[in-house]
């Protein structure tokens, strides 16, 4: 029976962890940028969207 190549398996696990970490950092950065875009709207615009629902009662 052939010996398993533990170094290869370990390297593959490390590469997978690195790939996941990069993807997570990318998602986090995109979410931060997206949140910044939403924050550009003035509070008055946000209030105008909510108030018509309250007036109908």
pLDDT tens-digit series, residues 1-55 = 888 889 999 999 999 999 999 999 999 999 999 888 776 555 555 555 555 555 5
Q: Residue 3 carries which DSSP code?
A: P
pTM value?
A: 0.52
Give the model's pLDDT for residue 53. 58
Q: Give the pLDDT confidence score for residue 10 in this predicted structure.
A: 97
pLDDT at 24: 97
Identify the pLDDT of residue 23. 98
Query: Rounded to whole angstroms, how far apart are CA atoms 15 and 55?
Result: 56
Query: Can you tell me the distance from the alpha carbon of 6 to that of 12, in angstroms, rounded to the nearest whole number?
Result: 10
What is the widest separation between alpha-carbon atoms in the chain?
78
Tokens encoding 11: 């390297």
């Amino acid at each position: 029976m052939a010996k398993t190549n533990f170094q290869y398996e370990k390297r593959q696990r490390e590469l997978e962890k690195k790939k996941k970490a990069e993807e997570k950092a990318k998602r986090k950065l995109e979410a931060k940028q997206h949140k910044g875009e939403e924050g550009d709207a003035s509070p008055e615009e946000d209030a105008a969207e909510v108030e018509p629902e309250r007036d109908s009662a």
